[in-house]
Amino acid sequence: MAEYDYDLFVVGAGSGGVRAARVAGELGARVAVAEMDRLGGTCVNAGCIPKKLFVYGSHFSYDLRDARGYGWSMEPSFDWATLRANKDREIARLNAIYDGLLAKAGVEVLAGRARLRDPHTVEVGGVERTARRILVATGGRPVMPDIPGGHLALNSNALFELNTLPQRAMVVGAGYIALELGSVLTALGVDVTIVHRGKEILRGFDTDLRCHLHDELELKGVRILLETQVVSLDKKGNAFEARLDNGERLETDFPMFAIGRTPNTEGLGLEALGVELGPRNGIVVDENFTSSVSSIHAVGDVIDHLQLTPVAVAEGMHFAHHFYGEGAHRIDYTAIPTAVFCQPELATVGLTEEEAWHRCQDVRVYKSVFTPLKLTLSEREEHTIVKVVVDASNDRVVGCHMAGHGAAEVIQGFAVAMKAGATKAQFDATIGIHPTSAEEFVTLR
């Protein structure tokens, strides 16, 4: 008789948890996974996928305007209900795919909230099950404001469930989520005001890209209030009134707060078992994702490291191969590409110029700002910026940054080049594809 019910019990069926469970099952482990909501986690249900579908849908407003300069004449109309219904159908399809992948790998899926009772026991729906190892992959949740009237604030999930579009939206925050969903609303005709406590949007990104994107968003009609905070929120008829610390009273129909995310560790019973948590309540783990309790592990956003879906997937792969395979899978956290799907799109890989000056003895910077060819026949004004940061001591490219149409697709390719140790001389020796925006990266002088 087996000592435990399972070899592995995974708490949370998001990107990292599903990958770990599926791969471990394929490698022969007896695996169960508990999920209290829909399979796929934040990314599939209220993050990457629905967000990108909304980005595509909203961007047609700009594409239709551009089309006039190319001889097309049409009367556009937009139906929010259609976009939302089609989004819901696609999410349901992906939920079913995740279910099928887990079933094919022999993973048992349990619906309900899980709580750890001891280092080898998990309770779901009043039933206790044991496992040699427990993997916590519960992701994160939105941080909500601690202000008078804070209970009236909405998080980013609310946008995906809206029945009708608001006329006026206040978006508090200026990170990925705030700028992406603020851009969606703006493109669909909503009057958007971004309220941010910092000195500039997109903290942590290259300064030239941050300032460029700020200007481009304002060109599209977004109002951006920097070094400003919401101090209270009140209901005003069918709308809301936000009182700002600059004295302004801002009326809005949709008060959305995107001020960060925090690891989902509450209510799991971790503290009682002696699992060490970090300053933001993320689970502290070693290089093989083992916590301070040897049988309890964690991957993804719940460890509060890099909150990116592909990172969580890679961590789940590493965990499964380390404990149930030959341990050959490794993660390289350097130069991880990322994108902000605002409009225009921003993507980056490697060091910012500021970071390069701290890590390299000498730095060379190459930059170009231009109007992409597609918009030369359009009435619309939008600019693209590309930037390359080079370590002057060895000519290696240590950073590639772009804001403009297709930035994420472009940067993904240059991320491979940087992983391979490409130099500026090799960039220069590469013949570009003309005419494209991407060729700017190999023609910068």
pLDDT value at residue 18: 98
Within the chain, all domains assigned CATH 3.50.50.60 are found at: 6-142+262-324, 150-259
Looking at domain 150-259, its CATH superfamily turns out to be FAD/NAD(P)-binding domain (3.50.50.60)
6-142+262-324 classified as CATH 1.10.10.10: no
Query: Which candidate, 330, 302, 325, 298, places its Cα nearest to that of 314?
Result: 330
DSSP designation for 373 = G
pLDDT value at residue 74: 86
pLDDT value at residue 327: 82
Each of the 445 residues of the chain gets a pLDDT tens digit; together they read: 579 999 999 999 999 999 999 999 999 999 999 999 999 999 999 999 999 999 999 999 999 999 999 999 988 899 999 999 999 999 999 999 999 999 999 999 999 999 999 999 999 999 999 999 999 999 999 999 999 999 999 999 999 999 999 999 999 999 999 999 999 999 999 999 999 999 999 999 999 999 999 999 999 999 999 999 999 999 999 999 999 999 999 999 999 999 999 999 999 999 999 999 999 999 999 999 999 999 999 999 999 999 999 999 999 999 999 999 988 788 999 999 999 999 999 999 999 999 999 999 999 999 999 999 999 999 999 999 999 999 999 999 999 999 999 999 999 999 999 999 999 999 999 999 999 999 999 999 9
338-442 classified as CATH 3.40.50.1220: no
Residues in CB range of 56: below 8 A, 6 or more apart: none
pLDDT value at residue 253: 98
Measured from the Cβ of residue 377, the count of other Cβ atoms closer than 10 Å reads 12
Cα distances (Å, whole numbers) of residue 378 to 10, 183, 317, 357: 52, 20, 46, 39
Residues in CB range of 83: below 8 A, 6 or more apart: 53, 54, 57
Residue 241, classed as helix, strand or coil, is strand
d(CA 352, CA 378): 32
Residues catalogued as catalytic: 434
pLDDT value at residue 1: 52
Residues in CB range of 249: below 8 A, 6 or more apart: 241, 242, 243
Within the chain, all domains assigned CATH 3.30.390.30 are found at: 338-442
Sheet strand arrangement including 239-244: 230-236, 239-244, 249-252
